[in-house]
Amino acid sequence: MGGGDKFLMQIAGETMIARAVRRLGPQVATVAISANCDPALLAPLHLPVLADPASSRGPLSGIQAGLAWARAQGSTHLATAASDTPFFPMQLVARLSGAAGPAGSVALAASGGRAHPVFGLWPVSVEQALNRFLAEDDRARMTDFAALCGSTLVDFAFENGVDPFFNVNTPDDLAEARRLDGGGQ
């Protein structure tokens, strides 16, 4: 992306992280941000910033920090979303919650035949299992842990030909997101 923090790049005058908070905020009781950057970069959002544990293991470490935070808040579940996916569904959490299986199972988003494990609903009750999983598996992947918990995939349809989980990873993707945003998404 040419350097800099991707989550601070803008679409229609709004940083991608602010956009994610705006989209997820109405769907949940409270929001925190999982990030391993200087928390001052996120200060304008006035939200807790959760750093990964010292032995960071990628996205699952963010889930680990989020589950601990959610438990401390008295929440039963943690909903997760990525800031570099500017069009994720406004009904994400409701759909995941409606499809969640038995206690202890995880609901993950999917589209176009592909799972998007960063977009999930994680019961706080899996926190200790995740801690053990991370301690035992040095190649830990989100989909492997979700499968261990018994996961359900929730399919989200493309809207106007656009994958709701379109991910911004390159300057061309950012340009496309900006173009797509002209459609009011």
Per-residue pLDDT of the chain (185 residues; tens, 9 = 90+): 666 689 999 999 999 999 999 999 999 999 999 998 889 999 999 999 998 776 677 889 999 999 999 999 999 999 999 999 999 999 999 999 998 777 778 999 999 999 999 999 999 999 999 999 998 877 778 999 999 999 999 999 999 899 999 999 999 999 999 999 985 54
Domain 6-181 has CATH 3.40.50.800: no
Considering the entire predicted model, what is its pTM?
0.92
- What is the structure's pLDDT at 26? 97
**CA dist., res. 20 & res. 85, Å (int):** 8
CB atoms within 10 A of CB 160: 7
Residue 101 DSSP symbol: -
83 CB burial (10 A radius; 0-12, 13-18, 19+): buried
- What is the structure's pLDDT at 54? 66
> Which stretch of DSSP H or E encloses residue 54?
none
